[in-house]
């Protein structure tokens, strides 16, 4: 096993870590082909270091036809040639470890790509064969089997079933896919699938990978007993509240799999860690986040929590209570590669229907970009002061906004292409990062960018923000640096503010965090000001501002 240099020995490093998500195709391009790559990430390590990160999480970089931005994996144990080689990966990992940054990779166990060797075999094989049993193949309904086996719906296409002929099969069966037709779901009742993923996890853990982000962790197990039950409504798809007995998701048998994974993780020193992406009823989150299973689970509530004091406090209280139930720690997140950038959400009137706003290329309602970025920074300082880990998404440290006007002809996301173009999709937060104020692709690479960058990216570039002490980048750098030295026991205490728009909490070592969400300026309590997300006005905390104090 490769030796990790420069990493802390603390087995609990993940409990209150600052983790930064890299979407590799859009981070930095080393060879000018318009696509970000692993060498690009390696070339920016000093930038990552300047953010005092504990870890980075890389979205999929595996061979993929990009039917779903890389979440359609053709080979789980290799690197897409457009993004580099395994040697490039090893180099990136070693360089990150040298500067004390750990690395998470994304594991996509619910489905593979249709180009995975197993699916290619399955499509050519006969019904009932060993090869077909690794996926979910069924005969259709109707006189000639011309109708899908059930009414199940998919996230990206109307039906969760596609006829095998679409993928070149010569028979008359259908296969199941919860996402795009190019993402066939595995049959997790087949022990071969279990074994294969243990092999993949071991492959990366042996290479020195520190953690895993588990994609759609709630969906691996389905109720495949015959006759298959009906589930026609998308809203019930995640089957919230089914208490472990749902049809397509959140079934109790999942935890047997994750306990096995935990055994594997614990064979390493320090134990490998994992974080589940699971859209389930909040009461079920502790099952995924238990230290006996995956250890942590994303809590997405801040992605939708309105920027208001009462809503923020309630979210925090709730999440802290859940984390206590399973000895896990909280996970705070405002953005990721699937969401409209939060600076944009926070700069829009909350009454705006964001879906139709996006479909209008962001023209149907005005965006207050400056207010959005300001509120976003206040929210960041608020969550960075909470007990638990913070997962950030590349570009948020620049206060970057959603790109709303990508021309239809250039959209790549299946969420747009497959949903009758009723949803603009997620490309707007995946546009390659601006590093320079000008030049080819704003310094992303020497060639173009695989998604078009708007001209206003210049003002949000690293170069534009680097030397401005009030920029988002400067605030992130200072706050993340401070946070490292301030982290203490996972406890908070709320303080009365006498103002419904202001929250004030402190940590056991005298680290105080005060956020004025909206309304009038709030008098500054006594103490040494460590950082303020926005300049104070006459010594008071203005609306949309968080201050950290030491008392
Ligand atoms: C997760 C990913 C998303 C992807 C989906 C299917 O939700 O975050 O990007 O489309 O899984 O793999
Ligand atoms: Ca490239």
pLDDT in tens, 16-71: 999 999 999 999 999 999 999 999 999 999 999 999 999 999 999 999 999 999 99
Q: Is residue 474 part of a domain?
A: no
Question: If you take atom 9 of ligand 1, which residue's CA is the nearest one?
Answer: 338
Tokens 């399955």, located at residue = 122
Which CATH number characterizes residue 132's domain? 3.90.400.10
530 Cα–ligand 2 center, Å: 40
pLDDT of residue 235: 52
**3 state DSSP class of 405:** coil
Ligand 1 within 6 A of 215 CB? yes
Note whether residue 378 is domain-resident.
yes
pLDDT band at 325 (very low <50, low <70, confident <90, very high): confident
Q: Which ligand gives the minimal distance to the CA of 426?
A: 1
**Alpha-carbon distance 447 to 428, whole Å?**
20
User: Is residue 167 within 8 Å of 176, Cβ to Cβ?
Assistant: no
Question: Counting Cβ atoms within 10 Å, is residue 87 exposed (0-12), middle (13-18) or buried (19+)?
Answer: exposed
- Residues β-bridged to residue 104: 57, 211
CA-closest residue to ligand 1 atom 2: 215
How far apart, in Å, are the Cα atoms of 143 and each of 140, 146, 147, 260, 382? 9, 7, 9, 43, 60
Q: Look at the chain and report how many structural domains it folds into.
A: 3
- The helix (run of H) or strand (run of E) holding residue 76 is none
Domain with 150 in it? 117-176
| Average pLDDT over every residue of 394-400 | 98
Does residue 302 contact residue 383 with C-beta atoms inside 8 Å?
Answer: yes
Q: Is 279 in the pocket of ligand 1 (CB under 6 A)?
A: no
Kindly state the tokens that stand for 309.
Answer: 């004091």
Verify that 84 and 230 share a domain, yes or no. yes
Q: Apex CA 420: angle with CA 417 and CA 424, to 5°? A: 60
Q: Does 6 reside within a domain? A: no
Residue reference for tokens 């030049």: 439
Residue 530: inside a domain: yes
Contact of 484 with 508, CB cutoff 8 Å: no
Pairing of strands 502-507, 493-495: antiparallel
Residues 429 and 499 in one domain: no
Instruction: Place 417 in a pLDDT band, splitting at 50, 70 and 90.
Output: confident
Residue 286 pLDDT: 92
Environment class of residue 450 by beta-carbon count within 10 Å: exposed (0-12), middle (13-18) or buried (19+)? buried
**Is a pLDDT exceeding 80 seen at residue 291?**
yes
Residues 103 and 121 in one domain: no
Ligand nearest to the CA of 450: 2
pLDDT at residue number 418 = 80
Any atom of ligand 1 within 6 Å of the Cβ of 338: yes
How much is the pLDDT for 350? 87
476 CA to middle of ligand 2, Å?
A: 27
Classify residue 224: in a domain, yes or no. yes
Residue of 67, 184, 338 to test ligand 1 pocket, by largest number of atoms within 8 Å of CB: 338
Distance, CA of 20 to CA of 133 (rounded, Å):
37
292 and 409 in a single domain? The answer is: yes
% of the chain residues with pLDDT over 90: 89
Q: Give every CB contact of residue 509 below 8 A, 6+ residues apart in sequence.
A: 486, 488, 489
The answer on 256 and 398 residing in a single domain is yes
Average pLDDT over residues 370-398: 98
- Mutation test residue for ligand 1: of 57, 156, 179, 183, the one with most atoms within 8 Å of CB: 179
* Atom number of ligand 1 nearest to Cα 108: 12
Give Cα separations from 431 to 138, 329, 438, 508 (angstroms): 39, 31, 16, 40
Stretch 94-111: mean pLDDT, rounded?
Answer: 98
Nearest ligand for residue 445 CA:
2
Three-class SS state of 550: strand
Most confident of 100-109, 154-163, 296-305, 417-426: 100-109
Residue labelled with tokens 């290799």 = 78
Question: Would you place residue 282 in the very low, low, confident or very high pLDDT band (cuts 50, 70, 90)?
Answer: confident
pLDDT tens digits along 202-252: 999 999 999 999 999 999 999 999 999 998 876 554 566 678 988 999 999
86 and 165 co-located in one domain:
no
If asked whether residues 444 and 426 sit together in one domain, one would say: yes
Specify whether 207 is located in the same domain as 348: yes
Do 220 and 288 lie in one domain? The reply is yes
CATH label of the domain that carries residue 69: 3.20.20.80
Domain's final residue, options 176, 201, 222:
176
| 3-class DSSP assignment, residue 505 | strand
Sign of the four-CA dihedral 70, 76, 81, 83: positive
Q: Is 255 in the pocket of ligand 1 (CB under 6 A)?
A: no
DSSP state of 391: E
Q: Are residues 224 and 318 in the same domain?
A: yes
Residue 388 within a domain: yes
Cis peptide before 270 (omega within 30 of 0): yes
- The sign of the torsion formed by the CA atoms of 321, 325, 330, 334 equals negative
Q: Could you tell me if residue 124 is inside a domain?
A: yes
Q: Pick the atom of ligand 1 nearest to 111's CA.
A: 12
Does 479 reside within a domain? no
Q: Of all residues in the chain, what percent carry a pLDDT higher than 70?
A: 98
CA dihedral sign, ordered 238, 327, 97, 384: positive
CATH of the domain at 504: 2.60.40.1180
Residue 404 and residue 346 in one domain = yes
The pLDDT value recorded for residue 251 is 94
Asked which of 147, 176, 205 is the last residue of a domain, the reply is: 176
The per-residue pLDDT for 4 is 47
- Shared domain check, 240 and 357: yes
- Å from CA of 443 to ligand 2 middle: 13
d(CA 469, CA 549): 19
Residue 221 sits at φ, ψ, to 5 deg, of -95, 135
Q: Is the pLDDT of residue 321 over 60?
A: yes
Distance 506 CA to ligand 1 centre (A): 36
pLDDT greater than 60 at residue 5: no
CA distance 422 to 415: 9
Determine whether 304 is exposed, middle or buried from the number of CB atoms within 10 Å of its CB (0-12, 13-18, 19+): exposed
pLDDT at 3 over 50: no
Q: What is the mean pLDDT of residues 73-102?
A: 98
Neighbouring residues of 171: CB distance < 8 A, sequence distance ≥ 6: 126, 127, 164
Q: Is pLDDT of 406 > 90?
A: yes
């Amino acid at each position: 096993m490769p030796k990790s240099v420069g990493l802390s020995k603390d087995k609990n490093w993940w409990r209150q870590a600052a983790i930064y998500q890299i979407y590799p195709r859009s981070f930095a391009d080393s060879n000018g082909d318009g696509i970000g790559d692993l060498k690009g990430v390696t070339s920016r390590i000093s930038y990552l270091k300047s953010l005092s990160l504990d870890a980075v999480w890389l979205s999929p970089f595996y061979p993929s036809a990009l039917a779903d931005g890389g979440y359609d994996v053709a080979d789980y144990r290799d690197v897409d040639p457009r993004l580099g080689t395994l040697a490039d990966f090893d180099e990136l990992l070693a360089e990150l470890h040298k500067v004390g940054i750990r690395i998470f990779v994304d594991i996509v166990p619910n489905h593979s790509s249709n180009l995975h060797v197993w699916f290619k075999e399955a499509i050519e094989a006969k019904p009932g064969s060993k090869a077909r049993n690794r996926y979910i193949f069924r005969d259709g309904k109707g006189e000639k089997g011309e109708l899908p086996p059930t009414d199940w719906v998919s996230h990206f296409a109307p039906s969760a079933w596609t006829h095998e002929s679409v993928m070149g099969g010569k028979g008359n069966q259908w296969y199941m896919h919860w996402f795009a037709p190019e993402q066939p779901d595995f049959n997790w009742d087949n022990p071969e699938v279990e074994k294969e993923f243990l092999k993949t996890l071991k492959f990366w853990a042996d290479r020195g990978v520190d953690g895993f982000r588990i994609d759609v962790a709630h969906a691996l197990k389905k109720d495949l007993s015959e006759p298959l039950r009906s589930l026609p409504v998308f809203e019930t798809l995640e089957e919230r509240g089914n208490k472990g007995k749902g049809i397509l998701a959140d079934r109790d048998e999942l935890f047997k799999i994750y306990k096995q994974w935990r055994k594997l993780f614990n064979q390493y020193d320090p134990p490998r860690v994992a974080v589940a992406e699971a859209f389930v009823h909040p009461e079920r989150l502790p099952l995924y986040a238990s230290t006996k299973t995956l250890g942590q689970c994303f809590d997405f509530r801040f992605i939708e929590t309105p920027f208001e004091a009462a809503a923020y406090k309630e979210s925090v209280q709730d999440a802290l209570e859940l984390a206590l139930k399973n000895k896990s720690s909280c996970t705070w997140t405002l953005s990721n590669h699937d969401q409209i950038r939060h600076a944009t959400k926070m700069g829009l009137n909350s009454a705006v229907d964001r879906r139709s706003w996006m479909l209008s290329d962001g023209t149907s309602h005005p965006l207050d970009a400056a207010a959005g970025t300001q509120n976003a920074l206040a929210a960041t300082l608020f969550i960075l002061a909470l007990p638990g880990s913070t997962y950030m998404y590349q570009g948020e440290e620049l206060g970057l906004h959603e790109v709303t006007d990508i021309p239809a002809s250039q959209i790549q996301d299946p969420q747009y292409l497959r949903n009758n173009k009723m949803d603009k999709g997620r490309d707007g937060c995946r546009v390659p990062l601006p590093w320079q104020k000008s030049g080819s692709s704003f310094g992303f690479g020497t060639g173009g960018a695989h998604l078009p960058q708007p001209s206003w990216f210049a003002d949000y570039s690293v170069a534009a923000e680097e030397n401005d002490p009030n920029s988002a980048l400067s605030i992130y750098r200072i706050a993340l640096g401070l946070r490292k030295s301030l982290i203490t026991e996972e406890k908070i205490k709320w303080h009365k503010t006498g103002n419904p728009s202001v929250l004030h909490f402190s940590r056991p070592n005298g680290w105080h965090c005060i956020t004025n969400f909206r309304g009038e300026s709030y008098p500054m309590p006594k103490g040494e000001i460590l950082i303020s997300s926005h300049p104070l006005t006459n010594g008071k905390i203005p609306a949309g501002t968080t201050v950290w104090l030491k008392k």
